[in-house]
Amino acid sequence: EPEVTQTPSHQVTQMGQEVILRCVPISNHLYFYWYRQILGQKVEFLVSFYNNEISEKSEIFDDQFSVERPDGSNFTLKIRSTKLEDSAMYFCASTTGTSSAYNEQFFGPGTRLTVL
């Protein structure tokens, strides 16, 4: 069964460093998302991406964040200068988005980011 994959599973970085989180969405999917979950808190929407551009972003997704689909398979989230409060689980999700009905978002297993 196709699944969303994410690497690495755990990333430890120093405050101020750049990190890139990687995702491989399901191959025929067209819409891609990043969400984050700070420990003990709710899953929060960060950004949606369609047709090689951001379609919506939340207030959390400031200038320190960027997303890219560098090739036909990967979808990346970059944090330019990490802060302690960026420590969280980051989930990638994808969906076909081709139906006017509900399109299930499939989530990856997440990357746990720890900023020291």
Partner 1 sequence: QKEVEQDPGPLSVPEGAIVSLNCTYSNSAFQYFMWYRQYSRKGPELLMYTYSSGNKEDGRFTAQVDKSSKYISLFIRDSQPSDSATYLCAMSAWSSNTGKLIFGQGTTLQVKP
Site for partner 1, rule CB under 8 A: 4, 31, 33, 35, 41-45, 48, 50, 55-56, 58, 89, 91, 95, 97, 101-110, 112
Shortest separation between residue 12's beta carbon and partner 1, angstroms: 15
76 or 97: whose CB is closer to partner 1? 97
- Pairing of the two strands 111-115 and 53-57: unpaired
Instruction: Provide φ and ψ at 86, rounded to 5°.
Output: -80, -10
45 or 65: whose CB is closer to partner 1? 45
79 or 108: whose CB is closer to partner 1? 108
| Residue 87 near residue 13 (C-beta atoms within 8 A) | no
- Count Cβ atoms within 10 A of the Cβ of residue 113 and give its class: 0-12 exposed, 13-18 middle, 19 or more buried: buried
3 or 18: whose CB is closer to partner 1? 3
Shortest separation between residue 72's beta carbon and partner 1, angstroms: 21
Instruction: Provide φ and ψ at 30, rounded to 5°.
Output: -120, -20
Closest among 92, 108, 87 to 19, alpha carbons compared: 87
Shortest separation between residue 56's beta carbon and partner 1, angstroms: 4
